Amino acid sequence: MADNYRWADLGALGAQGVPGARALGAGIERMVTGIASPPDTRRGWTARLNYLTKSPAGRTALTDAGISRRALAAWTAGKRSPSPKNRAKLDRAYWDLRRQRVTPHLKRRLANNGRGTRIEIDPVDQRNVQQPHRRDLAVRHTNVRPRIWNTAVDAWLDDDHQAMEGIWDEIIMDLGSGYDAYTNVSSVGWAA
């Protein structure tokens, strides 16, 4: 019984992983960010600037990020480049708007016409756990229902860690007995 208690304290015996809720959020984030040019390159900040200046919502995001009209005019006219501090603001405004815009698409993709999306849950890495303390954990698969995906995407968008933890608990409950061994994981993945 003492070993089970210590197992719950991730890392006490050498296991490595992250909370499942964080892994789920990171997976959603990867769907949105994909491969984007870094904001500190000319191509990266120019792409973000173009995206943000093409719509009223983008211009509002720029204002909300604290970017002045004067600076914006100088950048769009090619008179100067944004400072590193302003590039960070530009990047934040870009991703905030992008996340809001892709949310409906993410929900539709993950809902998969009402079928949900099957995920793979990789258990914690036990390479550094001594043999007598290792648990027999396998990669697990479960189908996440559309209702749960909708809630997860909303929690991710709101950066609501507590809600994500509740969602993760609901997902792993479907794994049956031993579900608590998947509170922390190496990774979570899916193809959607």
Q: How many helices and strands in the chain, by DSSP H and E?
A: 8, 4
Q: Is 28 exposed, middle or buried (0-12, 13-18, 19+ CB in 10 A)?
A: buried
Burial of residue 149 (CB within 10 Å: 0-12, 13-18, 19+) is buried
Q: What sign does the CA torsion over 29, 168, 155, 9 have?
A: negative
| pLDDT at 41 (0 to 100) | 75
CA distances (Å), origin 5, targets 16, 29, 138, 169, 181: 16, 32, 20, 19, 12
Q: Which of 169, 175, 190 is nearest to 20 (CA)?
A: 169
Residue 117, SS3 per DSSP: strand
Higher pLDDT, 130 or 14: 130
Looking at residue 33, its pLDDT comes to 83
Mean pLDDT of 14-21: 89
Handedness of CA 143, 162, 177, 140 (dihedral sign): positive
**C-alpha R_g of the chain:** 21
What is the rounded distance in angstroms from the CA atom of residue 172 to the CA atom of residue 91? 34
Q: Quote the pLDDT of residue 181.
A: 87
Q: 44-101, pLDDT tens digit by residue?
A: 888 899 999 999 999 999 999 999 999 999 998 888 889 999 999 999 999 999 999 9
Each residue of 99-137: pLDDT tens digit? Answer: 999 999 999 999 999 999 999 999 988 888 888 888 888
Torsion of CA 185, 183, 174, 169, to 10 degrees: -130
Tell me the pTM.
0.81
What b/e sequence results for 160-177 when a residue is b if at least 16 CB atoms lie within 10 Å of its CB, and e otherwise? beebbbebbeebbeeeee
Q: Which residues pair with 125 in a beta bridge?
A: 16
- Binned at pLDDT 50, 70 and 90, residue 164 comes out as very high
Q: What pLDDT score was predicted for residue 115?
A: 96
Q: Give the integer Cα–Cα distance in Å for 188 and 163.
A: 17
Tell me the average pLDDT of the chain: 88
